[in-house]
Structure 1
Amino acid sequence: MAESMSAVQHRIASTKSTRQITSAMQMVQTSKLNQIQKAAVGYQDYVSKVKAVVMHLAKSHLLDDSSSDSQSDQSGKTAYLVITSDRGMVGSYNSNVIRETNEFIAKHSGDKDHLILAVGGTGADFYKKRGENVAYEYRGVSDVPTFNEVRQIVKTVTSMYDSGVFSELYVCYNHFVNRIVSRFRGEKMLPVDSETLSGDEAQDTKTETLSATYDMEPSEKEVLKVVLPQYSESLVFGAILDAKTSEHASSSNAMKSASDNADDLIADLELRYNRARQAAITTEITEITGGQEALNN
């Protein structure tokens, strides 16, 4: 009985230590979530302005002409930029992204040849083990990424598209809805054409719209050369920022669940310990009483 009580005491102490760690990690992840949400709000304002200009150009059908010209020497392959985390302890975040991405690829590509561009070690390792064609991988995105940090990813992806490695790019990630809910998104990001923009416009109600009836200086084609690369870059970076926000929320929720489970386990172990101690005390009292009665007789 003494060894059993000692083992329960050890488990209680170990579980309390684990709860301290998970509680501290929850606080850290919540702090990171607050930071990245502030950064995301400011960035969305920029994206809204750039998208408004590009949508105006779409009304002039310049995007369709540009898209057809840029795809003349491309391979016809479809690439999927899959955004996951580099580490664990993020709940079901990675498994949800990978499962939904596989379904998305099966729906859009089927058995056709396609490419995987992996941002995050979890996704890269998963698709390598499956024998997928992982044409590019990037690990080590910071907790609150800046555009300068992600610029190399954006530059590599856009240069692969420009050089004809693939003709279409879909970005697959978990979109942050709130601190509890996130939803998978599979968005077409390249080429940027009227069809892509109309889908974005229906999905994003915050995008400003500009009238296509005014004159522009310089010409619309000159503006397109400058704005279109910025827009493509903003889409990729925005997806990474959104996915990272969802990752922090998922990690914070996972650590909270772990802390709550630890509290439940501690309560159960303390109850078992108290019952065992009471049983030991009762046994000792019974033995003493029995011995006293034997002496009296």
Structure 2
Amino acid sequence: MASLREIKSRITATEKMSQLTSAMNMVANSKYARSEQNTKKFRPYMDRMQETVQAIASSGAGNLHPMLQERQVKRVGYLLITSDTGKAGPYNANVIKAITTQIHERHKGNQDEVSLIVLGKIGYDILRTRNYTVDDYRVGLPDQPSFSDVKKIAHASIRGFEREEIDELYIIYNEFVSILEQNVKVRKLLPMSESDLETQSEFSSLASYEFEPDKESILETLLPQYAEAIIYGALLEAKTSEHAARMTAMKAATDNANELIGDLTLSYNRLRQAAITQEITEIVSGAQAQQ
């Protein structure tokens, strides 16, 4: 059985850990609120751009655009969004599991068919440790990223498809549902599918508008920007999910620490009471022996 000093030491260490996880929970809470606000602000812009692209492409203007053309798949690009730091529960593990599953099931473990692009230090380190080849990566993204923070790597990913270095491009990230729920999403970005180009009924009138200089020229400029915007939107979703996951993980850690402190305190008091009782018994026995 542990001594009183050992139990007291464990209580002190656990209290410090509880204070740390509680502080991290509050920091994550603050970051989550800002990130959720950024995500909500970006959605109207993303929706309007998508509706415009859908309307132009559905009118027949995008039939010959390379970003809309299916071709024989020889190499697939995967853009993974992970975090730079841990302590976020299963946030990073779920993304890593998704990409490794894709590689082993779809590509039979053949890395020559795969091009990996990673955002986040955790994902980069884990994949390198497992001997996966990472073609491009970016670490040190801010908690509230701007479009310029990912524009370079997003542009490089799309250029890889346009140059036929890859034949498909997927994004793997944590989609934000709620504070308690974040789902890993594997989204095909390029080539864009028919479902991406289905015009919503309330915006179908866009197809009858006149465009200057012409629909083909506008689509030529707009489609790469649209694809980059999808990547940025996925990053915002992923960052919101990261902060939410870290909030949940740190709250659970704080609750567990407080529960452990309660159990240790109870054990400490019981052991202390037993020691006091033993001392009183020894004093009484000694007094009786002297009589």
If the length of structure 2 is used for normalisation, what is the TM-score?
0.91
Is 1:214 matched with 2:214? no
The residue identity in structure 2 corresponding to 1:92 is: P
List per-residue Cα deviations over 1:130-178 (Å, max 9, x = no partner): 3323111111111111112222221222222223221210000110100
Conserved? CA contact 1:61–1:194, under 8 Å: no
3-state SS of paired residue (2:282): helix
CA distance in 2, matches of 1:166, 1:186: 17
Alignment of 1:170-185 (within 5 A): 170-185=170-185
Match of 1:89 in 2: 87
Match of 2:58 in 1: 59
Conserved? CA contact 1:93–1:247, under 8 Å: yes
Conserved? CA contact 2:67–2:192, under 8 Å: no
CA distance in 2, matches of 1:68, 1:237: 18
Is 1:269 matched with 2:235? no
Conserved? CA contact 2:80–2:171, under 8 Å: yes
CA distance in 2, matches of 1:168, 1:195: 16
Match of 2:101 in 1: 103
3-state SS of paired residue (2:115): strand
Quickly say closer, same or farther: Cα 1:69–1:253, change in 2 above 3 A.
Answer: closer
Tell me how far 1:289 sits from its aligned partner. Answer: 1.2
Quickly say closer, same or farther: Cα 1:64–1:142, change in 2 above 3 A.
Answer: same
Conserved? CA contact 1:172–1:186, under 8 Å: yes
Match of 1:160 in 2: 160
Alignment of 1:40-79 (within 5 A): 40-67=39-66, 76-79=74-77
The residue identity in structure 1 corresponding to 2:34 is: Q
CA distance in 1, matches of 2:277, 2:213: 93
CA distance in 1, matches of 2:171, 2:37: 23
CA distance in 2, matches of 1:68, 1:145: 26
3-state SS of paired residue (1:210): helix
Match of 1:278 in 2: 273
Conserved? CA contact 2:79–2:116, under 8 Å: yes
3-state SS of paired residue (1:174): strand
The residue identity in structure 2 corresponding to 1:62 is: A
Tell me how far 1:47 sits from its aligned partner. Answer: 0.2
Conserved? CA contact 1:67–1:192, under 8 Å: no
Alignment of 1:285-296 (within 5 A): 285-296=280-291
CA distance in 2, matches of 1:239, 1:94: 15
Tell me how far 1:196 sits from its aligned partner. Answer: 4.0
CA distance in 1, matches of 2:61, 2:133: 34
Tell me how far 1:111 sits from its aligned partner. Answer: 4.7
Conserved? CA contact 1:172–1:184, under 8 Å: yes
Quickly say closer, same or farther: Cα 1:244–1:69, change in 2 above 3 A.
Answer: closer
Alignment of 1:122-137 (within 5 A): 122-137=122-137
List per-residue Cα deviations over 1:250-270 (Å, max 9, x = no partner): 111111111001101100110
CA distance in 2, matches of 1:68, 1:157: 12
For structure 2, the 5+ residue unaligned runs are: none
The residue identity in structure 2 corresponding to 1:255 is: M
List per-residue Cα deviations over 1:205-238 (Å, max 9, x = no partner): 9x96333233333311121122112101101111
Quickly say closer, same or farther: Cα 1:54–1:69, change in 2 above 3 A.
Answer: closer
Match of 1:253 in 2: 248
Conserved? CA contact 1:55–1:209, under 8 Å: no
Match of 1:18 in 2: 17
3-state SS of paired residue (1:289): helix
CA distance in 2, matches of 1:265, 1:66: 61
- Give RMSD over aligned pairs: 2.3
3-state SS of paired residue (2:228): helix
Match of 1:242 in 2: 237
CA distance in 2, matches of 1:17, 1:194: 55
Aligned length: 288
3-state SS of paired residue (1:218): coil
